Amino acid sequence: MVGMDVNAACSVRDKVVIVTGGGTGIGKVYSERLAQAGARVVLADIADDAAQAVARSIRGSGGQALAFPTDVTDPQAVQVMVEGAIAAWGRIDALINNASLMSVLPRGEWFRIPLEEWDRVMEVNLKGMFICCRAVYPHMKAQGGGRIVNISSSRIWAGNPNRLHYTTSKAGVIGLTRALAREVGDDGIGVNAITPGFTESETQMATSSSNYVAGRARDRCFKRPQFPDDLVGAVFFLISDASAFITGQTLNVDGGQAMH
């Protein structure tokens, strides 16, 4: 853009941003940092008590936030959440598809994964993302544009074993991102993905052994733990006007473990 105001382009102030899974783990950090930067945040989380507590804390600190109990696999619940955002703030500028099943999944051999567990992972991690995209689309189209950021995983670059269903679902997120970007580009909607490395969030650490955690940093260029705040800059960039001409892309944030 000729004559771009860089500060304005990089800002998320006053943007209405939905964060699925926004009340716990990495999503909680996204929600808090967005609110601190002046965004109006909608926390959509099946863990409603946690999301409501985060929203209250944000409002108590002078930020703007609403929370809605949202199972992303339930189209009606997602629609209620989206309509609630529209009723409160009149638009939806960005959707961060962060909700997923991962930390609760046992690690193990692929042929031992129960079929019901496989189906549930695909339902949450892929179908839920599709449902959320579909729910915000009419509003983004009507307002002339918007941004969708889909959270995948750096596991897809290495083909990490022992959670085959999770890795497979997160590879599917990249296909969804690329194809959807083609379908909604004429509506001014950008669709991109982020592949986080192993991130020491509260939910991840609750289910990971100290030996497993210690081994995650060995192959990185930056040999330190990855924290939720390490992902915030990528999210801000992809929902800001600074990335207005970027769509269908995947940004890897893992400290240089996978060279994508």
With left for phi above 0 and alpha for psi between -120 and 50, is residue 38 left, alpha or beta?
left
Nearest to 34 by CA among 168, 195, 147: 147
With left for phi above 0 and alpha for psi between -120 and 50, is residue 168 left, alpha or beta?
alpha
Check 30, 137, 166, 212 and give the catalytic one.
166
Q: How would you label 135-147 residue by residue, b for 16+ Cβ within 10 Å and e otherwise?
A: bbbebbeeeeebb
Nearest to 191 by CA among 208, 173, 206, 218: 173
Active site residue 166: yes
Catalytic residues: 166
